[in-house]
A and B are shown apart, each in its own frame.
Chain A
Amino acid sequence: MPDLRPDPDALLASLKREERRARRGQLKVFFGMSPGVGKTYAMLRAAQQELREGVDLVVGIVETHGRAETEALLAGLPVIPRKEIAHRDIKLTEMDLEAILARRPRLVLVDEFAHTNAPGSRHPKRYQDVVELLDAGIDVFTTLNVQHLESRADAVRQITGVTVHETVPDSVFELADQIELVDLTPEALRERLAEGKVYLADRAAAAADAFFKDTNLTALRELALRFVAERVDKRLRELRGASPLKTIWRSGERLLVAVGPSPSSTQLVRWTRRMAAAQGAAWIAVSVESSRPVEGEAQRRLEKNLALARELGAEVVVTHDDDVAGALVRVALQQNATQIVVGKSRSPRWRDALRGGNLVDQLLRQSGPIDIYVVPAERAAEKPVAWLDWRPAEASPGREYGEVLAVLAGLTFASWFIVPFAGYLSVGLLYLLAVVALSLRVGRGPVLAAGVVSALTWNFLFIPPIFTFVIGKFEDGVMFGTYFIVALIAGQLTARIRAQERHERRREDRATALFRLTQALSAARTLDDAVFAALRQSDALFAAQSALLLGDGGAGLTPHFAGSFTLTEKERGVADWAWRNRRKAGRFTDTLPSAEGLYLPLVREDAAVGVLVVRVAPDAALSLAQRDLAESFATQLALVVEREQLRAAGEREKLLDESEKLHRALLDGVSHELKTPLAVLDAAVENLATADEATRSVLAGEIRTATRRLNRLVNNLLDQTRLESGALRPRLDWCDAHDLLNAALDGVRESLADHPFESALPADLPLFRADAALTEQVIANLLLNAALHTPAGTPIFLAAGVDLARSRIFFTVADRGPGLPAAMRERLFQKFQRGDAARAGGLGLGLSIIRGFVAAQGGEVVAGENPGGGAVFTVYLPFTPHGKVPTE
């Protein structure tokens, strides 16, 4: 049994961090992939919100770079003037740290976390200023790009070729209590760039074009997204506290092994595992998927190799790149790997030379500080990737070949008339033009076909002697040869560019899909919402049906209702296996591959919290990339499930607190509301005996009013209790709207006396099924509310109708009163919420009861603005027409 007790030191560190946090200010970082995504903007928006909530905040330093939108947001925020620092002959301005510390606000905005201060400032780096502010107990908002993170700077340089000098140590970034990811798609960013909305410092301007390439942006975005996701993961682990990491690596070494489909890869994996064990290091198995799909046997072998790696304890990463060496280095940098293990290449020397060196040479050139291990293969090495692969990466449709032939035929026909004036060499150039032009439109196969066909046609029809394939002159021979090669290169280039494009697109799609998912998950308010959103995205993304099973406290799996299909008994068995063994199973895997779906366990540290099932049609398949993405989905879902569990634990505490507060409110409210009419009754009755005739009738009126009020109050309390105890069982019955309105009006006639009342019920309003007593009360309460909350003399309207399209009937009560403040509308239907303009009286239960009664009947109630002033409440109830009524 491995020792899974928490490490006391780790626990202590975690406690200390908590303690420090208690005294420290809170740090919130607005984090983005590159300049121009709108971090400063997002920060200022957040600050405006804080300001509205009355937080004492100041702007320490914010660079608006003259952007109008940003400047508009800055307006109204108190700014601490910058300090001027004379450095040699120039005057520089920096944030005035001393002034802020003296002012001691709750919150300070500090733009550009990674900034380097002018010489002569208190600290050389701005993040050190921030640390001092935090130490002083001041909250800080700041902004940061992923490239300024020390651990990511190398990866960024790899991606963009730009060396970043201003970096922030990860340990400082770890101080952040909250990270807000500011995300923007590469297209949107480029658009902003084109519109001149992105500020670039002079020295950055030169590098900007290279930096803002779509490919770079996609990669940076992925980097940023992954970083934030990882960090969330880490925070969770800390939060969990009691459950320690399963393995603590002895050394800082991390090994990375490149895994391919060849059998020698299996040896490579085992070798790396031995090596890792010997060094006490963590290890990662990386498979680089190129744009050319791996199929059949090779695919199965690749998966087996990866499965083996996983089994032996490696973290498996699947990435996508045509440049294998580049991809390996990129992953190594991202994962902080210190050693890369590859197999020895057995491909012929001449081919390596043509490709700019074999994999090992390329790795050696790109890897920088990373060690490279080359392990000789014992048996046949992996089938080398052909340099010039004539097999089309993606079969071009016959249509493209047709297109090529049509163009060439047309051109040949036209050339027949041109050749007497222009000569056959010009015709050759025209053909070349056509081939190059075609390469922009059609795939590699058709382009190559165009090259061959046009060359032969040119030779046969135009190069003298014509109508033979013989070439008479030496120059013509050179011409023809050159032509042929140019056409081939054009074809090859096209193919590469397209593959690259496809690849970029796929990567971009993946990043976007992941982002959408994280966004949807963070927006979801409940676990059910999150699961629902994730499953629907999975359905759409994989053109599949998805389902989720959640573990119920160890005993078994329960399907979540949001799944788009139901599992059969047999499939449930597969899910169970995946859950118990914490390994994926089903189709596309080694375990139970005959199952209909792919089963991915939601693994959290030491247990699986559930299983995600993705089922595609039997004739469809999921590519490796899609499966990789599905696994990311599972990981994200696992995070959400765990977050929910942790939250639920915290919630219980809070709930106790809340309910205590609610009780107090109830007690205060009820005692006040009950005592007032009771006091009136008491006083009135006391005076009754001695009063004269006139006073007596006044007193009788008071008594009547007080008893009504008491009655209403008690009824409301009873109704609320009925609702909350779940004792409310609506008795559905066919109802006539006119009857209901009449009954409701009977109850509130006196209260409505001060208001002109108008009702517009269509004479042919059909019957609907509802609980008559509840609905009558709903209408009565709405009318009463309108009467109580609007000035005397203002009209009240009631209307009703049927919305056949959505199968519902509605009642609308509108008034011309002060209306509903937007801020109020959200909590309107909660218990004990009283209108701000409410007259004395009422516990604020009316609307809560209305909503409860309507919801109990399967309907909803909506509050809105009356055009022209006032409030509108609309009650929707389900509507189905009644069956036939026998006439006799």
Chain B
Amino acid sequence: MTAGGANPEVLLIDDEVQIRRLLRLTLEAAGYRVREAENGALGLNEAAVARPDAVILDLSLPDLSGLDVLRRLREWSQLPVLILSVRGGEADKIAALDAGADDYLTKPFGGGELLARMRVLLRRAQPASELSVVRFADVEVDFAKRTVTKDGTDLHLTAKEYALLRLLLQHRGKVVTHRQLLRDLWGPTHEQDTHYLRVHMANLRKKLETTPDQPAFLKTESGIGYRFAAGD
């Protein structure tokens, strides 16, 4: 957190004044401080000058593309970025996520959803690897001991399943793209082999989820990746 104190500051980069106004309303009501920028160049400038705690970035901007803004931002900053996109723009979303965006929202979206994402994003600012034990429902994952238990009994996970689970938990609440997962688990030559992921994910769900067909935690983001749904 910045020195500003308890209230985190969010930078909105969007060219639509009405969207900015509405987002400001929602965010301020939830206790955030809000800055606005109406194009990419101004947004980058604001980010450098004001050092906000998070950025909400629209992918279609009048001057630079949202993706360019993100890349330039990532050259010097790791601050959390939430992408706004439209349906059908899956390819753009994936490109943005792979370029370092932390999460995305598809327009139109509800205020509640936005705030939930923001909470996750800001919590994520604390390094997740420091957590040694994660609990959800009746499952407990102990990173130090590398054990997973469900309802008190030890679960035997294969090395890949464990790695997959750990990766999602490290980014919990946030979407991780297929590419990121495949690259981390199998190496860059397997970035297209999504069936590896599907098969291992199905096995993992069978072991962890109460209803594997309708997973409560290990969520699929159609065509994009997976997300560990943070219960809290």
Contacts and interface: CB of A to CB of B under 8 A. Distances in A.
Nearest to B90: A773
B220 A731 contact: no
A731 B223 contact: yes
B132 interface: no
Interface stretch (A187-195, A322-330, A714-722, A798-806): A714-722
A719 B178 CA distance: 25
Interface stretch (A422-430, A739-747, A829-837): A739-747
A171 interface: no
Interface string A720-734: 001000000001011
A885 B200 CA distance: 9
Interface residues of A, number: 29
B136 interface: no
Interface in B174-214: 178, 186, 193-202, 213-214
Interface of B: 87-88, 90-91, 108, 158-160, 178, 186, 193-202, 213-215, 220, 222-223
B227 to A, nearest CB: 12
Contacts of A718: 87-88
B199 A885 contact: yes
A776 B222 contact: yes
Nearest to A772: B223
Contacts of B90: 731, 773
Contacts of A719: 88
B213 A767 contact: no
Contact of A739 (B159, B196, B200, B220): B220
A880 to B, nearest CB: 11
Interface in A743-797: 743, 761, 763, 767, 771-773, 776
Contact of B214 (A731, A742, A886): A742
A767 B195 contact: yes
Given A711-B108, A739-B222, A733 B194 contact: yes
Contacts of A883: 193, 195
B9 to A, nearest CB: 30
Given A718-B87, A738-B213, 16 more contacts: A719-B88, A731-B90, A731-B223, A733-B178, A733-B223, A734-B198, A735-B198, A736-B198, A740-B222, A742-B214, A763-B213, A771-B223, A773-B223, A776-B223, A885-B195, A886-B186
A718 B200 CA distance: 35
A638 B36 CA distance: 70
9 contacts: A731-B90, A733-B223, A736-B202, A738-B213, A742-B213, A742-B215, A767-B195, A767-B198, A773-B222
A776 B223 CA distance: 9
Contacts of A886: 186, 196
A129 to B, nearest CB: 65
Contacts of B223: 731, 733, 771-773, 776
A805 B232 CA distance: 47
A742 B211 CA distance: 12
A882 interface: yes
Nearest to B206: A763
Contacts of A568: none
B213 A736 contact: no
Contacts of B202: 736
A883 B213 CA distance: 23
A715 to B, nearest CB: 6
Contacts of A202: none
Contact of A761 (B195, B213, B222): B213
With most chain B CB atoms within 10 A of its CB, the pick from A734, A735, A776 is A734
Contacts of B158: 887-888
A707 interface: yes
A731 B198 contact: no
B156 to A, nearest CB: 13
A715 B159 CA distance: 42
Contacts of B200: 885
A592 B159 CA distance: 71
Contacts of B178: 733
Contacts of A735: 198
A883 B159 CA distance: 21
A882 B195 contact: yes
Interface of A: 707, 711, 715, 718-719, 722, 731, 733-736, 738-740, 742-743, 761, 763, 767, 771-773, 776, 882-883, 885-888
B87 A715 contact: yes
A761 B223 CA distance: 20
A707 B22 CA distance: 16
A743 B158 CA distance: 27
Contacts of A715: 87
Nearest to B212: A738
A858 to B, nearest CB: 17
A886 B189 CA distance: 14
A718 B87 CA distance: 9
Nearest to B197: A734
A733 B191 CA distance: 11
Contacts of A767: 195, 198-199
Contact of A722 (B88, B193, B220): B88
A743 B222 contact: yes
Contacts of B222: 739-740, 743, 772-773, 776
A742 B88 contact: no
Contact of A885 (B87, B196, B220): B196
A628 to B, nearest CB: 58
For the complex of A and B, list the 3 residue pairs with the smallest distance between their C-beta atoms, beginning with the closest: A772-B223, A734-B195, A739-B220
A882 B200 CA distance: 14
Contacts of A887: 158, 160
Contacts of B198: 734-736, 767
A882 B186 CA distance: 17
A769 to B, nearest CB: 9
A887 B88 CA distance: 34
Contacts of B194: 733-734
Contacts of B214: 742
A743 B90 CA distance: 15
A701 to B, nearest CB: 14
B164 to A, nearest CB: 12
B159 A888 contact: yes
* A736, A740, A761 — most chain B CB neighbours (10 Å): A736
A590 to B, nearest CB: 59
A89 B202 CA distance: 96
Contacts of A772: 222-223
A485 B190 CA distance: 91
Nearest to A728: B88
Nearest to A883: B195
Contacts of A733: 178, 194, 223
Contacts of A739: 220, 222
B193 to A, nearest CB: 8
B50 to A, nearest CB: 33
Nearest to B220: A739
Contacts of A731: 90-91, 223
Contacts of B91: 731
Nearest to A719: B88
Contacts of A711: 108
Contact of A736 (B88, B108, B196, B220): B220
Nearest to A733: B194
B182 to A, nearest CB: 11
A737 B90 CA distance: 19
B13 to A, nearest CB: 23
A587 B133 CA distance: 84
Nearest to B91: A731
Contacts of B197: 734
A776 B220 CA distance: 12
A826 B72 CA distance: 53
A854 to B, nearest CB: 16
Nearest to B192: A733
A550 B71 CA distance: 53
B195 A707 contact: no
A883 B194 CA distance: 11
Nearest to A738: B213
Contacts of A885: 195-196, 199-200
